[in-house]
Structures are given as C-alpha cells and as structure tokens.
A and B are shown apart, each in its own frame.
Chain A
C-alpha cells in the first residue's frame, strides 16, 4: 500500500480542497494525507512536515509548495528522496517562477491535455519530465485519477 502526500494551496486556488478529496477518494487503496500550504506554519516547518510524512509518493497541485527554496535558491522538494508528481490544472503567471527552478529527475510534471507540449518544454527547460493529463480542471470523478495514477507509478520500477 502506498503512502501518498498531496500538497495543496487553497490560498491560491480554493478548488484544491475539493480536488485533493477527489484524488484521495479515487486512490482508496493508498494511505493519503493532504497538506495545505495555506496554514499557520513557518515555511521550514511546512517543509519538514512534508518531509517527515515519509510518504512513498508526493503529489502537488498547481505548484503548491514550490515557493520553498533553500539558501542556494534550489527547490526544497529537490532534496526529497521520493517520486513526485506535479499536476498543473491551469497555466498561470504564478507558475512561471515556480517552473523556472531546476527540478529533480524523479519529478514528473503533468500539464493539461490542451497544452502545447513543445512550447511548454521550450518555456521551461529545467523541468525534466513532462507528460499530459486528461484530468480536465481537476473536478472529475474517481475513474480518471485511478488510471492517471496507474500510468504514473509505472514510471518507477522500484516502487
């Protein structure tokens, strides 16, 4: 059974609360925790809460938590030893800064099916693995998340 942590940011997108519940419900065979960046913790406390979850997989919604960088201006997520999936439900200027940071090779970034893949890769060359998702705006039923997740974990033979 996988332990999953989903990182959301309802201050930027209130829909994350509902989307994360859909994902959790769809992945009913996994033990899923939801962590919302919109909470009263110092940034380092948020990072260590995520890190100490000892999850097998980390999923972020719309670059939630990407503002956490270390003193070398490196994404704090880069120092985590777990596979990570970053799902973008929309493209916004808020993501430009987040996606301009070098990402760890274990990260997969999922962009909406309607996005131009080559344009995205050219705009964000430091994102190592880009795939499309068919999850729409995220407010979907459980079947879509299940097949997305199955496709995702197939990328990790050691998982």
Chain B
C-alpha cells in the first residue's frame, strides 16, 4: 500500500504519531504540505495537488482533519480520501458540499456527530475514537527536577476559551439575553446532554436575527446554528473550568498550564504553557491527579486530552462523557465526576489513597496502550475503505 499524507499548515502535533504508526505497519507514504489562504478556492493547489496524484501511484490520500479541496482533487483522480477528524465539529466551511463525494471516507471521534451526519444522509462518515502513541510517551522519563517543577497534587493542561457570544448577547433583546443566560446556566451542570440539540434553537436564531435586522439595519449581523452551538460550548466550558480550578486551587496544591490564568484563580499556581510533545506528558507523569473537562460541543466522544493523560500513565479525573464509560471503567481505569463539587471530593479521596490511585493509573495506561493505538485505528480506517 502507498499512502499520500496531506498536511495542512505544517501538520498537527499528532502527525508524527501517524507516520510512526505507518512505519510500524510497513506502509510506505509520501507527505505533501500546504497552507490554504482560502480553503474553498485555490486554483494553484488544485493544479499542483492533482499533478502529484497523477504522477504518483497512491492507494489513498490521508489527512488529519477534513479538507474540501483535497476531497475534490481525490474524487476527480479516483483516489480514496481518508480524513480522520480530530476537530469537533468538522472545521470546514460548507463541508456538506463535498462530504458525500464517493471517494471520501471521513472518520469522526464523536459518535453523536457521526449520527447527525448519517441522519443527513452522509453514509461515508464513520465513528472512530482517537488514539495515543504510548511508544513515544514511554520514552519520556522525568528527572527529579522536572518532577518538582511540573508535578503537583492536581494539574490541568488546557484552554479557557474566549467566546464572542457575550458581544452578540449584548445586542439581543432582554428576553433573548435571558434565554441565553438560562441555557448556559443549565448546561454548565448538565453532562451527557447538549441542550441546544433539544431546545429548538431555530426559533431563537430567527428571533435574534430579526432583532438585529431591526435594531442594526444594514449592519448585516446574523448568527447561525453552528456558530451558536460552538460559542455556547465555549462559554459553558470556560465557566466549568474556571469554577473547577478555583475549587481545586482552594483545596489542593494545583498547577495550571494554559495561555491565560483568569484573575479569580489566585490560589492556583500558574505555570504558563507547556509543549504538547514533551512538557505535557511530563506534567501528566509527575502530577498525582490530571483534570480534564471536555469542550461541550463534543457530545459523546473521548477527547484527545483524556487519551493523552492515560497513555502517558497519568491519573485522569474527567467529566462524564458517554463514550469514556464505554471504553474505560470508572474507578478502575480513570475517575469520572458528576459535577465540580464531586470532582473536588474525589480528588481529595484519591490524594488520601495513593495506592488506589496508583492502581487506577496503571490500569488506565494498560487500556490506553492496548485499545487506543494509532496502528489499530489505521487498520480500521484502511479496512473500512476497502484497502485491506
């Protein structure tokens, strides 16, 4: 088999893990990198990439995340396009215009999103959980100094997400400001259910857009469903993460690795950022508890960060996600919390019971290593596409 890997913008942090897995499976590959100025129209890219496809002899093109122009070129060339999305939702404008192309095989890590696309009639969209390269992570062995620097009782590596929703909220009617506030408040404490999916957002969107048209005529301000869902998710996720970190910081030795530290988190030790490839695994290996709260637009899927923690051999304390409990056992492989107060209580328990925590940490690592490898995921992708 001969694969052409397409990398956007120099690739993502997991690109090297994909290449490592392909080498382990003795699959030959060539890589093309490109940075679109316009992901929907790029005559130069179409011309050159089509030439690459024509001059090579590739069984398929593979990319992390989905690129409509790559899909078009592959379809025209009759070459299968395997896109494994690490984004949720799919991060491409007007993706429906190309998603149904017959050469596409698109893999999403969130099962609910997969179902939504299938309900819309896209039969070439498949569910596939993410993966972790334990070979790479096993090679990271923190020194005593690194353990002192990076380690803590509780650590969190992640963003707080700035949302544009507050700005748009200000221009809404009083009623709809209240509506948005109520949805955000309710969603913050609700796991396993995404309220906008069931609250009929279309009526809300129509009302808001009508209000904008009336109060800001000619400004062309409008919101749409995908934007609203994503921005709501960011607001709710930020709220939960800040709340959780505040409670953790007030109770335990807590370190935060992020691009920002909200002012309210004065009891937390802010460490700035850490790099994904070496710094982050070191945090996971040297911290007694590693927190994760999922970006709320991920309905059911297991976030990359959770498998990163487990694959590094870290103890993971995460919010409830439907698929986490399908693949891992709560209290055996990792620990799932029901709300932020439950998270603090459980953190306290496992900090006081290190032997139990150690057993969970080891079990979680074994499961990640055995069931979440890139090699197995690629095997599934190739089998689904009829390549093996």
Interface band, chain B? 20 to 34
- Decide if B42 touches A158 in the complex (CB within 8 Å): yes
- Contacting B31 at CB < 8 Å: which of A83, A102, A156? A102
Contact of B144 with A by CB under 8 A: no
- Decide if B33 touches A129 in the complex (CB within 8 Å): no
Contact of B34 with A by CB under 8 A: yes
- Contacting A81 at CB < 8 Å: which of B31, B35, B275? B35
Min Cβ gap B173→A in Å is 40
Q: Which residues of B contact A82 (CB under 8 A)?
A: 37
- Decide if B10 touches A79 in the complex (CB within 8 Å): yes
Q: Which residues of A contact B41 (CB under 8 A)?
A: 158
Contact of B36 with A by CB under 8 A: yes
Q: Which residue of chain A has its CB nearest to the CB of B44?
A: A156
Contact of A155 with B by CB under 8 A: yes
Q: Which residue of chain A has its CB nearest to the CB of B279?
A: A71
- Decide if B34 touches A75 in the complex (CB within 8 Å): no
Interface of A is mostly: loop
- Provide the A73-95 mask, 1 if CB < 8 A to any CB of B, else 0: 01110111111000000000000
Tell me the total A-B contact number using a CB cutoff of 8 A.
Answer: 63
Q: Which residue of chain A has its CB nearest to the CB of B45?
A: A105
Min Cβ gap B122→A in Å is 28
Min Cβ gap A66→B in Å is 14
Assembled-state Cα–Cα distance A128/B276 (Å): 29
Assembled-state Cα–Cα distance A103/B34 (Å): 9
Assembled-state Cα–Cα distance A159/B38 (Å): 12
Assembled-state Cα–Cα distance A83/B35 (Å): 10
Assembled-state Cα–Cα distance A74/B45 (Å): 20
- Decide if B49 touches A105 in the complex (CB within 8 Å): yes
- Decide if B35 touches A79 in the complex (CB within 8 Å): yes
- Decide if B34 touches A72 in the complex (CB within 8 Å): no
- Decide if B277 touches A106 in the complex (CB within 8 Å): no
Min Cβ gap A155→B in Å is 7
Q: Which residue of chain A has its CB nearest to the CB of B38?
A: A158
Q: Which residues of A contact B49 (CB under 8 A)?
A: 105
The interface of chain B, by Cβ under 8 A from chain A, is 7, 9-11, 13, 15-16, 31-37, 41-45, 47-49, 52, 275-277
| A-B CB contact pairs (8 Å), 11 listed | A71-B275, A74-B11, A79-B35, A81-B37, A83-B44, A102-B33, A103-B33, A104-B34, A105-B32, A105-B52, A106-B34
